[in-house]
Structure 1
């Protein structure tokens, strides 16, 4: 069978896609400790972002630009006002590991769909069972495959017609709630870095039940608000579970046996694209290279909004933390003690900022830069960060999931926010209860 023809590609997009791929490869090379150039990953990713800057949606571009400008401005103020020593060559390194992981995760789209044929998992159902299947399918698959699952499931449902509001809400909440516990999410990657002494077992013990309650809340609420009799849903099949379960098993195998010195984020960064390449090799090296080439030219440049937000938020975090340290002599923190009241206040502030249009990574990063947590407080902070990410991305009009739904299926972020306000309010009460319970158990 002949290979599909390559569509016309804008040279600037092609170069940007190549730079994003180079950033991923360079990040993986650093895991071997044989790569001596410390900042090349950041340079590659930022140059790709610069090339794609004009193509980023205007609101996202303005938000990312403000974040970068604030971060750079704070670094300059820290240097000029307080004489802080700043490694200017490394100011672009913030969150590059997360962006590299996201680029690596995107290659999961090369598993399956070989030779141009689409074989989405599962069968469509309707009604309440279908809505439950949609939430559960996106949640389980998305806990490993991240945002790509929304497109896998959403495109399957769209075959029956344009996606309805309850279908879009099921996709939104199914994915965002996985941030409460999944070790494969970008949120967990950020939190693992900000709170390296956190106890993941505790996070799982509180986050997973809260995520399941989110699913029951979603199905119950949407069943009351909408007539679902003719609303197509998604049903999991054993075959659809094979790949994510296998990936999770591989990640755990590498984490505990093969590469125990690497974090889960680092393992995902090289393992998922590696598996994707191996799954294509039986069809020939030429076909495999063609698929990687197409992915680099099309899928990677399409990640420009998410990549720009993560990179610019990383620059803001670096600027803010440097300025605060220089201004206070490392003696000032937002809270003298990070207890349940402080945790609840932080959670509410991040969610409110998400409703106002800021990505939760910004609130989480800013909060971390203003805290000095001992090991015993890092688990509580980690839960606050993950919970605010889960609730904030569901309701925030400029979150990655809502921007993706807007770009793919035409629903506005404002519409998603309006329909998710009650959900976010109930989840907030549940999170507050979980914070109180967690504090009692620590």
Structure 2
């Protein structure tokens, strides 16, 4: 209920009718505290460490350098991203009202089936995020337990969408850190890199595994209708209806509204029942993501506050953020993901150490998105790998081993894309 309240307060804030400032952060943090014992142990350790370091850095800046800190607002970091993730989760309420499963029909196998799985989770995941992995994965698992090629296709199909999707949490974070970024340039560079990652995945899996009997997801025009419709609706609101709101805010507002509207024809009681079930089951299941994003926001605030207080707002990690700096930043964040840190931590820490001019923000944005895309695919403690481990029983470290070669090739591709983008800018 606190998570749902946080979402409602965030939406209310778009209208300027929020009763008190900072309530969103208080609600989400209190929910995290109540759910703390149920958070997976590794995620709990990581989130707790980040939050403790963030608070410690704030305390050091306050006591050692006499920094002015707005203490009531210290819990606000990344609440906009968490609210968006909560809002996106409501898309799970759109669909079959009866709850009955559709007949499976004859499976599509071989390269075509694996390509369908990657493309399906990639395209649907641009809107539905992590829930797409469960939707497609559970459908495939109805035939037999998921095998390694299926799991790798799910992993890479979703993670590569971070390169360009405006609906991902990665894009929400980046849009806030770099408000002057040019999304069109990100799309022109990021989308081809994402498509090449799909071709690479199909080529690699067909060489390493016998795909002849590997069932895949059948991608049909009907399955694309909802995500394409949602994307068009978001763009309509962004450019026509509510141009004063950013895309992150529009998604936070629009997706829960559409989900509720799609259920209302079945009656108010049915709609309330589905919202109640979603609130009691799906929202608490997001506890790990919520804890990690909130803690990373607190760390970013603490680090940036201490650096500014200690240097008088004059120190930056790089005097100029160019090709070499972007490549070094990308490789560092991916390496940190391999040892267990979520890419949001590297991206947030890096942003707190930079003073980006408007013309450098697009390069930083692509660097951050590429780090997220490659880092979440290979990182054993990333959200996608932890979710696959919890749902289908495959170890995150096993996924890491299977993805090391993929990450190496993708890193070379990203480096080339960074060089091309910097020359374009």
Fold similarity call, TM over 0.5: yes
SS of 1:34's equivalent in the other structure is coil
Deviations 1:131-169 (A, max 9, x none): 000000000000111011001100010011100000000
CA distance in 2, matches of 1:59, 1:151: 22
Residues 353 and 363, structure 1, Cα contact 8 Å, conserved in 2: yes
Q: How far did 1:197 drift?
A: 0.3
Q: Which residue of 2 aligns with 1:369?
A: 352
Q: How far did 1:113 drift?
A: 2.8
Deviations 1:28-71 (A, max 9, x none): 00000121411000000000000000000101100000000000
CA distance in 2, matches of 1:228, 1:310: 37
TM-score by length of 1: 0.95
TM-score by length of 2: 0.99
Deviations 1:81-138 (A, max 9, x none): 0000101111000000000000000000000131322349997310100000000000
Does 2:225 match 1:264?
Answer: no
CA distance in 2, matches of 1:202, 1:122: 41
Deviations 1:410-429 (A, max 9, x none): 11100100000000000000
Deviations 1:185-242 (A, max 9, x none): 0000000000000000110010000000000000000000000111010121111011
Q: Which residue of 1 aligns with 2:367?
A: 384
Alignment equivalent of 2:168, drawn from 185, 204, 209:
185
Residues 281 and 288, structure 1, Cα contact 8 Å, conserved in 2: yes
Q: How far did 1:314 drift?
A: 0.4
Structure 1 runs of 4+ aligned residues shifted over 6 Å read 120-123
Cα 1:175/1:299, change in 2 over 3 Å = same
Does 2:17 match 1:43?
Answer: no
Residues 121 and 240, structure 1, Cα contact 8 Å, conserved in 2: no
Does 2:89 match 1:106?
Answer: yes
Residues 120 and 156, structure 1, Cα contact 8 Å, conserved in 2: no
Which structure 1 segments of 5+ residues have no match? 1-17
Alignment equivalent of 1:279, drawn from 252, 262, 267:
262
Q: How does 1:57-206 map to 2 (within 5 A)?
A: 57-119=40-102, 124-206=107-189
Q: How far did 1:267 drift?
A: 0.5
Does 2:221 match 1:242?
Answer: no
CA distance in 1, matches of 2:248, 2:107: 33
SS of 1:184's equivalent in the other structure is coil
Does 2:387 match 1:437?
Answer: no
Q: How does 1:346-365 map to 2 (within 5 A)?
A: 346-365=329-348
Cα 1:202/1:108, change in 2 over 3 Å = same
Aligned residues: 425
CA distance in 1, matches of 2:325, 2:224: 39
CA distance in 2, matches of 1:390, 1:120: 34
CA distance in 2, matches of 1:148, 1:229: 27
Q: How far did 1:283 drift?
A: 0.6
SS of 2:217's equivalent in the other structure is strand
SS of 1:114's equivalent in the other structure is coil
CA distance in 2, matches of 1:418, 1:78: 40
Q: Which residue of 2 aligns with 1:309?
A: 292
Alignment equivalent of 2:322, drawn from 329, 339, 358:
339
CA distance in 2, matches of 1:290, 1:108: 15
- Give RMSD over aligned pairs: 1.1
Cα 1:246/1:60, change in 2 over 3 Å = same
